[in-house]
Amino acid sequence: MIRALDLTKRFDDFTAVDHLTLTVEPGEILGFLGPNGAGKSTTVKMLTGMLQPTQGTAEIAGHDIIEYPMQVKQRIGYIPESGAMYESLTPAEYLDFVASLYHLDPALAESRFNDLLDVFGILHARDQRMTEMSKGMKQKVLISSALIHRPDVLFLDEPLNGLDANAAMVVKELLKKLAAQGKTIFFCSHILEVVERICTRIVIIDKGQTIISGTARSITEDTDSKSLEDAFSRITGIRDAGDLSNDFLAALERV
């Protein structure tokens, strides 16, 4: 499970995350939403032990992130939005490398990553350098690398980036099944339809603070909106999308 208490991160004068408190139970898929710069990535970096909080603390799978970062890192899987990987390696080399970092038996690791690549339909490319691969293929390798050590807690930042419709469907189903197995899933995405469909609960943050939390339906009802997208737009206070698009068109038509 994930339990964050009063989590705060300041960079000089700027407060990226401001006294954030949240809990995600095993078996839950939490949709973590917010406009650009709201503090989502900073929160994820603190929860994954990549960034030290300025204040507050968090527990992941029963371990304090500040006291026991190594134990936390053993139990989590993370898909960063940046998709950073050593791309001059082949998928087989990269997954073997990642498996080694988690002390997986090499034979077990190989059979596991072969299975994962096979499910994603890229087993034929396991020995091809990732520099020569499409964004979608690389994303499949990235997802495999986050799952290969069977983590208890998953942090996913835009995991469907670049995936084709079929692969995206596989991932969405996979997440539901992992949650059913009791895994804890922290899901960040800007694709609100996907969030609405697979997340059991949603937290929306802005300026580092929680604005609203609940199920997609409760958020929609509480904000008197037609959909989660509409609710998000109202809560985070952007201008009307129709007005904005008109301004864009006017700018393009200027002679």
Binding residues vs other proteins (CB under 8 A): 11, 48-51, 70-71, 73-74, 76, 78, 80, 82, 84-89, 93, 96-98, 100-103, 129, 131, 155
Residue (80 or 201) nearer to other proteins, CB:
80
Three-state secondary structure call for residue 89: coil
Shortest Cβ distance from residue 136 to other proteins (Å)?
17
Residue (87 or 230) nearer to other proteins, CB:
87
Residue (71 or 114) nearer to other proteins, CB:
71
Range list of H helices, the chain = 40-47, 69-75, 91-101, 106-119, 135-147, 165-180, 192-198, 216-222, 228-236, 241-253
Residue (109 or 202) nearer to other proteins, CB:
109
Name every residue whose Cβ is closer than 8 Å to that of residue 188 and which is 6 or more positions away in sequence. 31, 32, 33, 40, 41, 44, 81, 155, 156, 157, 158
Shortest Cβ distance from residue 111 to other proteins (Å)?
18
Shortest Cβ distance from residue 88 to other proteins (Å)?
4
Shortest Cβ distance from residue 201 to other proteins (Å)?
23
| Whole-angstrom distance, CA of residue 42 vs CA of residue 46 | 6
Shortest Cβ distance from residue 177 to other proteins (Å)?
23
Task: Please measure the distance between the N-terminal and C-terminal CA atoms of the chain and give it in whole angstroms.
Answer: 57
- Say which DSSP state 146 is in: H
Shortest Cβ distance from residue 226 to other proteins (Å)?
37
| Whole-angstrom distance, CA of residue 231 vs CA of residue 219 | 7
* Among candidate residues 223, 243, 237, 79, the one with its CA nearest the CA of residue 162: 79
Three-state secondary structure call for residue 18: strand
Residue (72 or 202) nearer to other proteins, CB:
72
